[in-house]
Amino acid sequence: MKKFGLDNGGHKRTPAATHLKLTKDESGISVDQSMYISMIGILLYLTVSRPDITFVVGVCARYQAEPKMSHLTQVKRILKYINNTSDYGILYSYSEDSKLMGYCDANWAGSADDRKSTSGGYFFLGNNLISWFSKKHNCVSLSTTEAEYIATRSSCSQLVWMKQILKEYNVEQDVLTIYCDNLSAINISKSLFIIVEQSTLIFDIISSEILLKKRL
């Protein structure tokens, strides 16, 4: 905080306004880029242990190429929030239950510059948060369903990966659960899973046929 002259600055109770709308702000006043990048660097390192700022730091990090006054104000707000909440952390408690669960969500056209959405996901093992992400999509979603489906899909692959790594530690998982708050996205996922199941079935049949031929 001292480094950026914010050691006697105010405190903030939240890292950003509720409806954060940052844009490229091409007509805005330019600010010192190296200082901005250094602030982002510090904050990105913090996101490893602070899920509460992951999204907003990610948004601010998009404007490192041409930082403007509006971006710097937002970054300073995050720093003030951190200053106020430096005792926050993650509590891991003992629990018998070690079921993997994922929660995901997405905003729609969250980026005002290119209308791309951002998805986020949180993953729990029992009652302990062990992993999270916030990532802007690579493509433009035309509906909330599309955006939510992309979030569900990436959460799903994360969960499957975590299931594999837990298997290495002898923690077997039965059914993986993902919570998604969009009914259409859930239905799309369900129908696609059926297709995937069918195709693996076909693949199994084909490969067993090949095996049989080889044996013959």
Partner 1 sequence: MISQIYVDDIVFGGMSNKMVQHFIQQMQSEFEMSLVGELTYFLGLQVKQTEDTIFIS
Residues that bind partner 1 (CB under 8 A): 45, 48-49, 86-94, 169
CA dihedral 119, 120, 125, 127 (to 10 degrees): -130
CB of 49 to partner 1, least distance (A): 5
CB of 10 to partner 1, least distance (A): 22
CB of 50 to partner 1, least distance (A): 9
CB of 87 to partner 1, least distance (A): 7
CB of 170 to partner 1, least distance (A): 10
Q: Give the Cα separation of 58 and 4 in Å (integer).
A: 20
Give the residue among 129, 127, 134 at the shortest CA–CA distance from 90. Answer: 129
Half-sphere exposure of 24 (CA within 13 A, CB side): 7
> 131 or 184, CB closer to partner 1?
131
Give the residue among 1, 154, 152 at the shortest CA–CA distance from 81. Answer: 1
> 20 or 44, CB closer to partner 1?
44
> 14 or 95, CB closer to partner 1?
95
Q: Give the Cα separation of 20 and 57 in Å (integer).
A: 12
> 7 or 168, CB closer to partner 1?
168
State the angle between helix axes of 183-215 and 144-168 in degrees (0 to 180), rounded to the nearest 10: 50
CB of 48 to partner 1, least distance (A): 7
**CB burial readout 43-63, b (16+ within 10 A) else e:** beebbeebbebbbbbbbbbbb
> 5 or 89, CB closer to partner 1?
89
> 1 or 196, CB closer to partner 1?
1
Cα separation of the two ends of the chain:
74
